[in-house]
Amino acid sequence: MASKDQRFAIIDVETTGGRASRDKITEIGIVLHDGQQIIGTYESLLNPQTYIPAGIVQLTGITQEMVRDAPLFHEIARDIVEFTEGAIFVAHNVRFDYGFLREEFARLSYTYTRKQLCTVRMSRKAFPGLKSYSLENLIKHFGIATDARHRALADALATANILERILAKESNQEEVKLMVNLGVKESKLPKGITLEQIHNLPEACGVYYFHDAKGNVVYVGKSINIKKRIAEHFADQTDKGRQLQQHVADVSYELTGSELVALLLESHEIKRLHPPINRAQRRSSFPFAIHTYTNEDGFICFDVIRNDAKTRDKYEIISEYPTMTSAKGRLNYMVRELELCSRYCHLFPGTGACFHYHLKQCRGACAGQETVADYNERASDARERMRTVFDTDFFLIDQGRSDDEKAVVLVEQGHFSGFGYVDAETSLTKTNLRDAVKTYPGYPDTARIIQRFLNEHPKAKIIKLS
């Protein structure tokens, strides 16, 4: 007998071919089962928006005419998610059916995740000695009545019959539990992490923490889909992936709703906790800066300088960096991206036309071939894109952790000051917003995070403080 509250979604898909990345689903059949009896069914033809090969038509009987007016996958995707929610995904050769569904959902930018159970593998354990464990052979062996072979619901019903026979054997209960685990074990999990933990993680935006056996945080990350990202970590075969598999004993998380808040919180937590695997993001010292000025000819110029109290008072600092290399790297990127003059960015010594002009990568401001106005238009763009010190104070409003709230990010005195949440019904007055914000220290990288967000979301809701 299956667990009283355990449900199975027995699924069969008919397709235009055998490769999920290339071929499409033409029909889906789902049988919902509580381990004792069928409690619901679902079936639908699907328009694959592609040609169905003649051999497939002969096998399934599904013709181009039959699917012409059928729904597209995105039109029934929500039905599939809701119908299979909380159920174990069962199929005869589960990798095939599960793979096709995951691929279809991936095309919609949705991560479809379910525990899985393969009746082919279970049948080999439960009914040893058969010549074949194909669905066709099992139907014949058990005398299962079926109306239309190679139609999705008929095959799903036949698979449900086989599942019932497997579950009827008391000795198979632990085997079923084990095989469900193996079905989702697509990567080697750390010893302290269970599959149940992975399945219980939210498919939502936030910050996650990996802890070692003593409870210490060894890694902090952020994702718009925490469950998916953590599963990817444990499938990672790089040095970092192996480090995580070796040291991680527990996982925790904090939902943020807003990806911007997730990035800001991740940056703060890495600097606060100093996780050993987050080496690159732990720096809190930024001894180099890019400053800007206008030269005697009127051209906007940039230079990398030491970042200290004296230079901050004397120069217009627009961004700060942990190393000279990273500062010059950012400036070099802007030179290439916007065809700026490397001499006016102090990356080329001397006078006269710069090296990039001879390579036709500079438009010739340094050689008298470009007007001040034309050059400064691009240089102004570069200045704003590099800026990590804001010239205005504002609240930035983003989505919250639910539809009932909004996230609030505060920039004050030119720097990130903190974030918080307000009820969606709350009036967005400056007093209410300020009361909602929890103060966090600002660093140049947090300012870059906000600047990048503003560049990518030009219509973001901004409320200026003055």
- Active-site residue set: 150
Distance CA 75, CA 153 (A): 19
Could you tell me if 341 and 375 are in contact, meaning their C-beta atoms sit under 8 angstroms apart? yes
DSSP SS3 for 274? coil
Distance CA 103, CA 95 (A): 12
Distance CA 195, CA 45 (A): 33
Token code pair at residue 195: 């599959």
Which residues face 118 on adjacent strands?
Answer: 91
- Distance, CA of 252 to chain centre: 17
Distance CA 30, CA 294 (A): 68
DSSP SS3 for 61? coil
Residue 134's CB is within 10 A of a number of other CB atoms, namely: 14
- For the four alpha carbons of 147, 153, 158 and 160, in that order, the dihedral sign comes to negative
Helix axes 119-126, 173-184, angle to 10 degrees: 150
Cβ-proximal residues to 204 (8 Å cutoff; 6+ apart), any chain: 224, 225, 226, 255, 257, 401
Could you tell me if 51 and 16 are in contact, meaning their C-beta atoms sit under 8 angstroms apart? yes
Residue 215's CB is within 10 A of a number of other CB atoms, namely: 9
Token code pair at residue 203: 């498919």
Distance CA 194, CA 248 (A): 12
| Element of type H or E holding 157 | helix 152-168
Amino acid at 196: E
- Distance, CA of 443 to chain centre: 25
Q: Tokens 């929890």 correspond to what residue?
A: 438
Task: Quote the Cα angle for 71-74-75, to 5°.
Answer: 45
366 closest CA partner among 350, 385, 344: 344
Q: Tokens 């119908």 correspond to what residue?
A: 83
Distance CA 242, CA 200 (A): 23
185 closest CA partner among 175, 176, 173, 198: 198
29 closest CA partner among 42, 39, 38: 42
Cβ-proximal residues to 373 (8 Å cutoff; 6+ apart), any chain: none
